Amino acid sequence: MKPLLLALAVALPVNAGAADPVSPATFAPAAAAAKAPPGLPFRYVGRVLQNGKLEVLLMRGERLYSLAAGDKAGEDYLLERINESSLSFTYLPMNLRQSLELPGVN
């Protein structure tokens, strides 16, 4: 190995599993991923009519939520709408809309 290449190999160790270090960098996927909200953390359990108001029952981890349209689930999600076949949420930290398709609804 030539001395210059040897010096570079020692000074700049290259991870064999990493991307080619001399290829041009692209930042588009990282920027797009930074704007993507996390997947919805809810599992649909059912619906209930409570005090004349339609609510949905959702599990988030070990916690059960009973939510009507306009209610918050924790500090990060707002249930915007309850439709026949889906639920519409806003992920509050990024002000992004997400929907959860309800199982068994055609």
Asked whether the CA dihedral 57, 59, 62, 67 is positive or negative, the reply is negative
What tens digit of pLDDT does each residue of 47-61 get? 999 888 999 999 999
What tens digit of pLDDT does each residue of 6-50 get? 455 555 444 555 555 565 655 555 555 566 778 999 999 999 998
Q: Where are the domains of the chain?
A: 43-101
DSSP string, 43-95: EEEEEEEETTEEEEEEEETTEEEEE-TT-EETTTEEEEEE-SSEEEEEETTTT
Per-residue confidence (pLDDT) for residue 72, from 0 to 100: 97
CB 41 within 8 A of CB 61: yes
What average pLDDT does this structure show over 59-79? 97
The fold for domain 43-101 equals SH3 type barrels. (2.30.30)
Higher pLDDT, 29 or 85: 85
